[in-house]
Amino acid sequence: MALELFRLDGRVALVTGATAGLGQTMAVALAGAGADIVSLGRRPGDETGDRVTGLGRRFSHICCDLAAATVTDLQDVITQVLFQMGRLDILVNNAGIIRRGPALEISEADWDEVLQVNLKALFFLSQAAARQMVQQGGGKIINIASMLSFQGGVRVPAYTAAKSGLAGLTHALANEWARHNVNVNAIAPGYMATDNTAALRADAGRNQAILERIPAGRWGVPGDLSGVVIFLASPASDYMHGAIVPVDGGWLSR
């Protein structure tokens, strides 16, 4: 009976940045729990679609460049989801970009693009999704935060500002939308073995320093997020609002 709390049958999830990496893994995990999936990104989501449909779930992809998307574009995304799937129950705000460089040298263009994708577009997509969820009687919004939602980092000032802002936004939206049965929570992945961290893992000294700081003694892999995203998308988390859940191998506890 308890396992039924984690089932997502009949629900529709919109996952941004689901064509590869963490987003693809989370989309497939949600499909495995019973959800139909809409992927949003700049590139076609054929591989993700094959994996989702292979699980017997419906799949659709919406092409959208969050770096250039207007508020109207993001509202139109939700309209397309409703047209294609009939409802929207879960939004996973996974898409994000990072620009590395010293704070003394970061350009305005890099700053604006990171804040646009990681924070502004995320807010207005969440706003449009929540309007629909309120009408339906509830829903789940899951933001993908970061260790830099808690820490300052080095050479990533725009990313740190965006992810710190995302943590505050998660709290703020939870405060307003909980009474509508819309749960807003976040997952904060630790150091994950993805394309975004390839340069760090290739640097022997930096890689060793990171591993020494992680109590689990290894880099995370995308599958480490599967259980927590299903939990936050499911009825099992109905009384969770405004939580930021680290999945970091113990990094923050060190």
Catalytically annotated residues: 159
Q: How far apart are CA 202 and CA 213, in angstroms?
A: 17
Contact 79, 69 (CB under 8 A): no
Length of the chain: 254
- Token output for 71: 């508020």
What string of H, E and C letters represents the secondary structure of 10-64? CCEEEEECCCCHHHHHHHHHHHHCCCEEEEEECCCCHHHHHHHHHCCCCEEEEEC
DSSP assigned state of 117 = I
Q: How far apart are CA 60 and CA 120, in angstroms?
A: 24
Identify each DSSP E strand in the chain by its residue range.
Answer: 12-16, 36-41, 59-63, 90-93, 139-144, 182-189, 244-247
